[in-house]
Amino acid sequence: MARQGRREWSMAKETDSIRQEFDHCFVVCAYKESPYIGACIESLKGQGVPARVVVSTSTPNGRLAALCEKQGVPLFIREGQSGLAADWNFALKAAPADFVTIAHQDDIYHRDYLEKMREYAWRAKNPILLFTDYAELRGGVAVEDNRLLRVKRKINAVLKRPAFWGSRFVRRRSLAVGNAICCPSVCIHKARFPDFAFDASFICALDWDAWSRLADEQGEFIYIPEILMCHRIHEESETTRLIANGARFSEDLAILSRYWPGPVARFIMGRYKASAKSNEGTL
C-alpha cells in the first residue's frame, strides 16, 4: 500500500508540473534537400503561442545549414548511416523538452497545433502521447475528406472521449484494425519514457509498432479531433516508395498478427491494402 501511495503521489506531482508549464519542442527530422522544409519550419515558428524548434539530420548539406542559420534554428547532426528509426531516435533525444513532436520535413502545421497540445495536456492526468486529426496535402491543396481519412476518423472516434483516454483495452482495439494515428501529428511525453526508442527492425511500420508498445503502458492516449496539420502526399515520399515495393504490407501484417489469428490478420490486411491506394492518388 505504501508503494502504491508513493506511485500515486509521483503521478500527481507530474500532473501538477504539466499544468504549470507545458515544456514542448518541435524537432524537424531533415533528410537531404527537401524543397518543403522551409515551409515546415515557418509553420512551426508561426504557432499562436511561442514555440521551440530544432532540426536534426544525418544528411547535412549547405542548403540545410543556411536555412537553419537564416531561421535561427539549432541544427543537430547525427553521424553514421541514415535510417528512419535511427534518425527519429536521434531527433527525439536532441529535443530539449518533456514533450516532443517529431515534425516531418514535408508537412505543414496549423497555427493552433501547439496551443491545442498544451490545452489537452493540461486536461489529462497522465499523458503517454497526444495526436490530432489531419488533412492530406496534394499538389499544394489541402484535402480534408476522402475514404482513407474517413476510415481513420471512425477508428479514432472512441478516443475523443476523455473517459477512454486511459483505457488500454480501447486503444489496443483501435490499433488492432490498423494504424489510424497520423505519425507527424503525434506529441510524445518524452519525460515519461526517456528510454523509449523506435525499433530499427522496421523500415516502414515503425510508428505503428511504437504506438502498439506504448499502448500497453499505464497512462493516456489523447486524440484531438481537429485538423491541426497537413501531411504531404507526393510521389517522392518514403511512404509511397515503400508501398510500391511491398515492404510496408509485410510489416503491417506482422503487427496485425499480434492482435489476431493468421486468417483474420490477412483479411484485415486485404482491406488495409485497398485503403492504402489513397497514398497513390486513388481511392
pLDDT in tens, 265-280: 999 888 767 666 655 4
Top-confidence residue, 192 or 243 = 192
SS3 letters across 210-257? HHHHHCCCCCEEEEEEEEEEEEECCCCCHHHHHHHHCHHHHHHHHHHH
Check whether 18 has a pLDDT greater than 60. no
Nearest to 173 by CA among 271, 266, 248, 260: 260
Pairing of strands 75-77, 53-57: parallel
CB 183 within 8 A of CB 81: no
C-alpha cell recorded at residue 21: 508549464
Mean pLDDT (the chain, rounded): 89
Domains along the chain?
13-280 (3.90.550.10)
67-103 pLDDT tens trace: 999 999 999 999 988 899 999 999 999 999 999 999 9
**C-beta separation of 190 from 96 below 8 A:** no
pTM confidence score: 0.88
pLDDT tens digits for range 145-176: 999 999 999 999 999 999 999 999 999 999 99
Determine the Cα–Cα distance for residues 120 and 22; give it in Å rounded to an integer.
Answer: 10
Q: Which helix (H) or strand (E) holds 188?
A: strand 187-189
**Which of 3-12, 39-48, 195-204, 235-244 has the least mean pLDDT?**
3-12
How many C-beta atoms lie closer than 10 Å to residue 175's C-beta?
23
Q: Is the pLDDT of residue 20 over 80?
A: no
DSSP category for residue 135: E
